[in-house]
Chain A
């Protein structure tokens, strides 16, 4: 083994003598490791806000229109006498969706792990452009701040749903939140998209150009494949959302009619003519659908890596895994119409999108079976990261299977926009991606902060979260099939749904317990930075290159030469070796064959 035995010796004499001030090291840093931490911590803070919002509206759904001290304290004028206002309910739903999808699971997940792992796992000193990388983070930061500022505007934040369909989002007279709140939402998203594009371009260029000697594309860990393909999807689809946002801004502020036509509201006819809201839906979902794969693919990559490492087995079907990532990426760009079966578009298009949508089940099934086969006959180390990875596969299957119903246009008619949809996408991309993110944090925490997280706190965090996730989202399928629409402030105007009220209470109780137990994670995460046990160089005995770099962070990642790569990333328990893992930088033994992959 040619890992660096004594890391401390290299720290002082690695030959890089940058003058680092506090500002260049911690704030305007161009080092990918620091930027990844910045993404993680910003994303976590946004995530906490998003979860808190969901708890507030869940309480409203379970105990509608009951006064609550929490509302009075947090919502102020939006909860007169502690009773939540219907407008702010919609705003909470909207901002919760926006924050979770974009700020936590796109920037927080991709931003953190692409930045941390791409240079370290391919053997590069840093990203192709550290400067662009820094700009990318700070644009993200600015967009997050603008999104938070929008919570405090006079008429309320954006409240048209995270999909911001016009005309509701375009007309301030249709809804309080469609005034200044929506303007800030659009500005924030435009900046966010710029940030995401800069990040994605950087990831793509880095993976293509900066791989170390011997690191061919088919020796890359699956994490890198996932981040790479995610970045490509982002570059293809995010600009379309940007165009939709810009056209919407034109409609709102400059009197154009891209998405609006024939509108009579509050006693007057508006001048708009000839536009179509359906056009907006097309533009939105051309990003919106690939977006869910932008969220889930990095999680898949992380889970593949962690499952192999903790099962002490090669990932099963490495080539099939890459092929299915590519297939999913390709299909993800031609299925957006399944969000629009009943939007009024031509029913023939509905048939086409049903066809392409159900095809996605094939690569997804391949991945699920490959993960299951990976742990078969393994020597499974139940580290917290592994638990979250198994949890990921579980929720991905449960949530993914109901996609067969939603992707089928005929069935979608009756469950469209009900709680069934909420259950489906929260399990398959919300909870799953969150599990992927947790798994990544637990696994690479030693790499990021040089210390270990507490495993017992990790176990408690996982098991309570796992039970609560099912407790929250599984029953939602059934109230959805009973016809309960989503985004209703209260269901008490429909006696038809009175028998579902107790289900909503159960769901909310699970949600509150689950949310409170995330404090265990936060405590473990922030506490371990200072009090955690010092991490060894390769705590999980993994094969990938990031574990060959010294524990203490340094510019350029490796002292001296960058390690060369001689084998693929999954030589776990390979016959003919004494240890159950062979790092990628270990040359093949005489007569040893590299696996034909």
Chain B
């Protein structure tokens, strides 16, 4: 309803302005009505250019102050996270400088050199030195960025198997996530969607005869021990999905018919993250918003929203169908002891089958 009212109001404002222009036009009859910009138009629009420059600067500042939660989403929670954040900050600073200068030049020139009758423009068609300057400077800057970027990319994507990473399969389907741990041997059993048998609850299509598969553990909440490298093997049973774990600066598509991978080391436990000042502030803010919303809901006779508690999240970030917007799984990062206690309670594959 609000939206509809907004549209109506905007529409009437538009009609009003429209009419005003009409009047303005009619009043001008007989003066100069060629519809070509006059000195007066040049001057007015030149001042608008300055105002617009100010608008760009203001919207930039407002956005950074209000929503510029940099580095992204408070602090990163993985070992490679700070590398990405550093590169991000360097790129942002660079962009900020170039943006500020070029927008200034563009709009200021448009203001300064506005047309006037009798003025003649400078005939200035070429200057190889200038062209060379603004070819070479971007080359140097970009060379730096490319080299830094590639080093970062390589260090993130190279998984060192010697570190004995914890191997976990992320399994995507419309519209939920499952995770499979290798069990005591930390080795995932063979699997293929052709082996799925819903009758005996073999939901991920594990090879029931594979010895490695027997102790595999299938869960729908991801637990990770802090400080230990994790290697995710991604699989999808139906369409493309993308495993997006923004707090860990991690993302990889899940592709039916192939296994993709991404590795990282979580560095901050869920409990620690909840206690960081940024997160306390963010959660308090979110809970205020939810409280306000709940008031409206209760007034309408609906249930109030639950208060929010921070959890790391795995989101689906590749369009995958109707409920794409609600395909998520909580990630709990905990100490090794807590993790061990948790995993001990989970059912092994061989015991989870319905005989």
B69 touches A481 (CB 8 A): yes
The docked-state distance in angstroms from the alpha carbon of A362 to that of B135 is 6
Asked whether any CB of chain B lies closer than 8 Å to the CB of A180, the reply is no
Number of chain B residues whose Cβ lies closer than 8 Å to a Cβ of chain A:
134
Asked whether any CB of chain A lies closer than 8 Å to the CB of B271, the reply is no
Q: Mark A176-210, 1 if CB is under 8 A from B, else 0.
A: 10000000000000000000000000000000000
A174 touches B321 (CB 8 A): yes
Q: Which of B48, B135, B149, B305 contacts A410 (CB 8 A)?
A: B149
Q: Which of B21, B42, B125 contacts A380 (CB 8 A)?
A: B42
Question: Which of B126-134, B180-188, B217-225, B347-355 faces chain A?
Answer: B126-134
Asked whether any CB of chain B lies closer than 8 Å to the CB of A405, the reply is yes
A494 touches B313 (CB 8 A): yes
Asked whether any CB of chain A lies closer than 8 Å to the CB of B119, the reply is yes
Asked whether any CB of chain A lies closer than 8 Å to the CB of B335, the reply is no
The docked-state distance in angstroms from the alpha carbon of A361 to that of B59 is 25
Q: Mark A342-386, 1 if CB is under 8 A from B, else 0.
A: 111001001100110011011001101111110111111111001
The docked-state distance in angstroms from the alpha carbon of A522 to that of B305 is 45
Instruction: List residues of chain A with CB within 8 A of the CB of B119.
Output: 379
A366 touches B134 (CB 8 A): yes
Question: Quick one: closest A residue to B125, CB to CB?
Answer: A314
The docked-state distance in angstroms from the alpha carbon of A361 to that of B247 is 29
Question: Which of A124-132, A218-226, A465-473 faces chain B?
Answer: A465-473
Q: Mark B319-351, 1 if CB is under 8 A from A, else 0.
A: 111111110100000000000000000000000
The docked-state distance in angstroms from the alpha carbon of A519 to that of B11 is 9
The docked-state distance in angstroms from the alpha carbon of A371 to that of B103 is 12
Task: Assess A455 versus B113: contact at CB under 8 Å? Given A483-B73, A493-B326.
Answer: no
A481 touches B313 (CB 8 A): no
Instruction: List residues of chain A with CB within 8 A of the CB of B166.
Output: none
Instruction: List residues of chain B with CB within 8 A of the CB of A66.
Output: 1-3
A381 touches B42 (CB 8 A): yes
Q: Which of A161, A372, A387, A501 contacts B289 (CB 8 A)?
A: A501
Instruction: List residues of chain A with CB within 8 A of the CB of B11.
Output: 516
A365 touches B138 (CB 8 A): yes
A378 touches B122 (CB 8 A): yes
B238 touches A265 (CB 8 A): yes
Within 8 A of A (CB), among B79-129: 83-84, 87-88, 91-92, 94-95, 98-99, 102-103, 105-107, 109-110, 113-116, 119-127
The docked-state distance in angstroms from the alpha carbon of A261 to that of B235 is 12
Asked whether any CB of chain A lies closer than 8 Å to the CB of B303, the reply is no
A387 touches B45 (CB 8 A): yes
A275 touches B257 (CB 8 A): yes
B52 touches A466 (CB 8 A): yes
Asked whether any CB of chain A lies closer than 8 Å to the CB of B10, the reply is yes
The docked-state distance in angstroms from the alpha carbon of A377 to that of B126 is 14
Q: Which of A277, A359, A405 contacts B257 (CB 8 A)?
A: A277
Number of chain A residues whose Cβ lies closer than 8 Å to a Cβ of chain B:
151
Q: Mark B254-276, 1 if CB is under 8 A from A, else 0.
A: 01111010000000000000000
Q: Mark B1-44, 1 if CB is under 8 A from A, else 0.
A: 11110110011001001100100110000000111110001101
Instruction: List residues of chain A with CB within 8 A of the CB of B50.
Output: none
B322 touches A175 (CB 8 A): yes
Question: Quick one: closest A residue to B18, CB to CB?
Answer: A520
Q: Which of A261, A274, A414 has the most CB of B within 10 A?
A: A414
Output the least CB separation between A200 and chain B (Å).
30
The docked-state distance in angstroms from the alpha carbon of A459 to that of B91 is 35
B194 touches A416 (CB 8 A): no
Task: Assess A265 versus B123: contact at CB under 8 Å? Given A278-B258, A380-B113, A489-B324.
Answer: no
Instruction: List residues of chain A with CB within 8 A of the CB of B73.
Output: 481-483
Question: Quick one: closest A residue to B316, CB to CB?
Answer: A485
Instruction: List residues of chain A with CB within 8 A of the CB of B120.
Output: 312, 379, 573, 580
Asked whether any CB of chain B lies closer than 8 Å to the CB of A15, the reply is no
The docked-state distance in angstroms from the alpha carbon of A358 to that of B146 is 7
Instruction: List residues of chain A with CB within 8 A of the CB of B1.
Output: 66-69
Q: Mark A261-298, 1 if CB is under 8 A from B, else 0.
A: 11111010100001111100000000000000000000
A496 touches B313 (CB 8 A): yes
Asked whether any CB of chain B lies closer than 8 Å to the CB of A409, the reply is yes
Task: Assess A377 versus B290: contact at CB under 8 Å? Given A167-B238, A174-B321, A493-B325.
Answer: no
A495 touches B286 (CB 8 A): yes
Asked whether any CB of chain A lies closer than 8 Å to the CB of B253, the reply is yes
B146 touches A354 (CB 8 A): yes
B193 touches A264 (CB 8 A): yes
Task: Assess A498 versus B37: contact at CB under 8 Å? Given A276-B255, A382-B45.
Answer: no
A414 touches B41 (CB 8 A): no
Task: Assess A401 versus B98: contact at CB under 8 Å? Given A377-B124, A483-B73, A520-B18.
Answer: yes
Within 8 A of B (CB), among A515-558: 516-517, 519-520, 523, 532-533, 536, 539-540
Q: Which of A260, A453, A487, A520 contacts B35 (CB 8 A)?
A: A453
In the A-B complex, the 10 residue pairs with the smallest Cβ-Cβ separation, listed nearest first, are A261-B257, A483-B246, A382-B45, A344-B260, A347-B157, A452-B35, A478-B67, A264-B193, A495-B308, A488-B325
11 contacts between A and B (CB under 8 A): A62-B3, A174-B321, A355-B150, A365-B135, A379-B113, A390-B49, A394-B107, A397-B102, A414-B72, A454-B35, A482-B67
Residues of chain B whose beta carbon lies under 8 Å from any beta carbon of chain A: 1-4, 6-7, 10-11, 14, 17-18, 21, 24-25, 33-37, 41-42, 44-46, 48-49, 52, 55-56, 59-60, 63-64, 67-70, 72-73, 83-84, 87-88, 91-92, 94-95, 98-99, 102-103, 105-107, 109-110, 113-116, 119-127, 130-131, 134-135, 138-139, 142, 145-146, 149-150, 152-154, 156-158, 174, 192-194, 196, 198, 205, 234, 237-240, 242, 244, 246-247, 249-253, 255-258, 260, 282, 285-286, 289-290, 305, 308, 310, 313, 315-326, 328
